[in-house]
Amino acid sequence: MHTHSIAAIRRHLSNGDYSSKELCAHLLARIKQLNETNNAFIEITEKEALSAAEQADNTRASGGAASLLGVPLAHKDIFCTKHVRTSCGSKMLKNFVPPYDATVVDKLAASGAITLGKTNMDEFAMGSSNENSHFGSVANPWDNARVPGGSSGGSAAAVAARMVPATTGTDTGGSIRQPAAFCGITGIKPTYGRVSRYGMVAFASSLDQGGPMATTAEDCALLLESMAGFDERDSTSIDQPVDQYSAELNRSLDGLRVGLPRQYFSSDLDAPIADALQQAIEELTRLGVSFVEVDLKNQSLAVPAYYVVAPAECSSNLSRFDGVRYGHRCDGPVDLEDLYKRSRAEGFGREVKRRILIGTYALSAGYYDAYYLKAQKVRNLISQDFTQAFENVDVILGPTTPTPAFKQGENSDDPVAMYLNDIFTIPANLAGLPALSAPCGFVEGLPVGLQLIGNYFDEARLLNIAHQFQQVTDWHLQMPADIRA
């Protein structure tokens, strides 16, 4: 049962091959067993899940037919879950239990999905390796000595290890796509504003976006249909109808024009990954796709611009964690200043502190114009690059990451090397564009990802291309040898 996709689970539940309660019990047993090794879960909601599964089975028996009825999944621990701890992987929120559900959690529950738990993550979504969690590092199921990527590393590892068929993730600079590539699964970051951020703890508000992670593009389409939509509680939510993504999966790719940015196929890219991408390009060519070289001339500025904008917004958003209203509070503060200083010093980890300091500096008097304002201007140039490219092509293709998953601890003392892991994913966040990562091969036994970037609200096309690619390849079906049993 644990190897079944969401599409397959829906068929098996409908046919009565197994019940939702049987499926959830099986997966919960796997989670408890495998979590000792990969640490993908922070919270396991066994009692609540089994109760919800039993209710889903009763609903089905009574004729209920919600789109995800009885389908189990897990949520990244950045989404607020009513009466279930939401820690954001931080000591600061180690004991925070929200009184409400995030909109994403609400929508998936309304579609019948069952939550099995909350997945591990880099603290406050800040990281590219999932080594920054207060609850310990997550191991990559393909090689436990390597990272699963971040910040949604727990979500990616949980799917790759077949602990759950799907998870939610968030993507601020690549945090859905990069771990999806490292773990050999599919993940999509929708257009900014397509999925509500209400109840999703903020890191960088102009960049954060929630999205689904699963083994296949088809499963991501089914999930996104439930997750997407306007939410009046989120001021950045876009009031636009949600496409029936799953209905568009089988469209022909004949005549599709795909751009290959010369900047993405540079010396920054490992040669074996370039070879895997070339093979994927050849497969897509056989499906009727034509390829055109495009010039995204300002893409080299994306990483430096991002690491001004994101820390600046992080500095502002995380100022609310001061030990007064909620979150970690130091013992025996002597005055208000001591309360602020020690609560924040004790509650935040090293990477979060680093980004707060950078962001506060960039926003300070005398430096705002020199750093933050200039970074926003560069961001606009990057968006213009994409706008011009989409005048000639339908989609842009490139690598998701410059290398396969690196070893744990390899980049821990080199923040710049860590940040450069997002060199190919960050531009889509700065422009607010939808982007998807799908498995396209292996390098020395480690999965690598193919990235597709679309125009605004063109998620259906990205999912269509990925699905058609997955019909003629089996990279997305591969799983670690010790996971198959």
pLDDT at 252: 97
Question: 107-155: per-residue pLDDT in tens?
Answer: 999 999 999 999 999 999 999 999 999 999 999 999 999 999 999 999 9
Measured CA to CA, the distance from residue 89 to residue 153 in angstroms comes to: 11
CA dihedral 406, 471, 435, 425 (to 10 degrees): 20
CA angle 426, 160, 473 (to 5 degrees): 80
Mean pLDDT of the chain: 96
State the CATH class of domain 6-258+391-483: alpha beta
pTM reported for the whole predicted model: 0.96
For residues 308-324, average pLDDT: 95
The H-assigned helical ranges of 184-270 are: 217-227
Question: 371-390: per-residue pLDDT in tens?
Answer: 999 999 999 999 999 999 99
Match 């949520």 to its residue by tokens: 75
pLDDT at 485 over 70: no
pLDDT at 482: 74
pLDDT at 484: 62
Does residue 124 contact residue 379 with C-beta atoms inside 8 Å? no
Domain ranges of the chain: 6-258+391-483
Measured CA to CA, the distance from residue 460 to residue 248 in angstroms comes to: 6
Other Cβ atoms closer than 10 A to 289:
21
For residues 423-449, average pLDDT: 97
Show which residues are catalytic: 76, 151, 175
Does residue 351 contact residue 311 with C-beta atoms inside 8 Å? no
